[in-house]
Structure 1
């Protein structure tokens, strides 16, 4: 249940077709998430997807924060030479009051607007720009933007899987 769609694996070859598929997945993520959570009760929103895991509410807020960070990393990589990005403590962010108390609607709105902008940016990238990188200090390596697109398409599917587990598990 920690990885309902399996852990992230990068294909051996990144093709333009794969990139376009991933961008489409990133584009559809906010609506898919909204469709799943819009009719959940407060109890369902506050149900963890697994023992020791985050609640649906925390997952939705995490997606907004994570995707904002990624969008900014794209902008940095496109305007600077292999900039060092700042990591953040996701688990600690998930324990903050906005994650625990706030309705999911503000984060759904963030995701909708953010993904609209992000997809326009992603679709504009040339093959050369897709190879631009940012330096990830925790991984101690330069991360190309094409690989980051793959990761965030997976990230959306990954967390949709978590929310679906909770939705199906509590709706009967």
Structure 2
């Protein structure tokens, strides 16, 4: 695999011009399954497996799992900000710095799998309470340098989940199912 395919094994996220209500509901359904997919994929991994990388110089499997949990907490917070504040700006992090903290390099993955599960339960519960009008709200994403509607943000969340599931599969030598 070339570098681009290893960095973006399912392709880069691109915004859609519009989202149907059915697509939003499908994305919510997908988000509900994400924690179980991570848990299943990582069940029984050895310490050696958790140190594997999807490409030279990349994060380890352990770091990827902790990253996903961290960022999905931010996604949930971004939604709450966008729903309650005018001209909201997306909360961002220094993801490489976070991933290089000793905690992210060494904490048991069960901590982040539990965090991911709880975050997705709360996030999808929030999403199910939202109206079509709510999904038109959004926030400015300083890193992407663009305004994201909450419809776009749900799509990003699903993409991000699948993106890193693919990274873990590559690191573990498993097939990527697109």
Q: TM-score range by the shorter chain?
A: over 0.9
Which residue matches 2:13? 8
Q: CA deviation at 1:139?
A: 3.6
Structure 1 position 79 matched with structure 2 position 75 = no
TM-score by length of 1: 0.93
Structure 1 position 49 matched with structure 2 position 92 = no
Distance 1:68 1:27 in 2: 14
Contact 2:16–2:152 (CA under 8 A) maintained in structure 1: no
Higher relative contact order (CA 8 A, sep 6+): 1
Give the gaps of 5 or more residues in structure 2: 1-5
**SS of residue paired to 2:148:** strand
Which residue matches 2:164? 159
Structure 1 position 58 matched with structure 2 position 63 = yes
Which is worse superposed, 84-93 or 142-151? 84-93
**SS of residue paired to 1:127:** coil
Q: Which runs of 4+ in 1 moved over 6 A?
A: none
Which is worse superposed, 58-67 or 11-20? 11-20
Q: CA deviation at 1:14?
A: 0.8
**SS of residue paired to 1:72:** helix
User: 105, 119, 130: which one pairs with 2:110?
Assistant: 105
Give the gaps of 5 or more residues in structure 1: none
Distance 2:100 2:109 in 1: 15
TM-score by length of 2: 0.90
**Aligned ranges 1:102-141 → 2 under 5 Å:** 102-141=107-146
Q: CA deviation at 1:136?
A: 2.1
Structure 1, residues 78-121: CA drift from partner, whole Å, max 9, x if none?
11112123321101111001111111000000001110111111
Contact 2:38–2:165 (CA under 8 A) maintained in structure 1: yes
**SS of residue paired to 1:160:** helix
Name the count of aligned residue pairs: 169
Q: CA deviation at 1:163?
A: 0.8
Which residue matches 2:28? 23
Contact 1:87–1:137 (CA under 8 A) maintained in structure 2: yes
Distance 1:140 1:12 in 2: 17
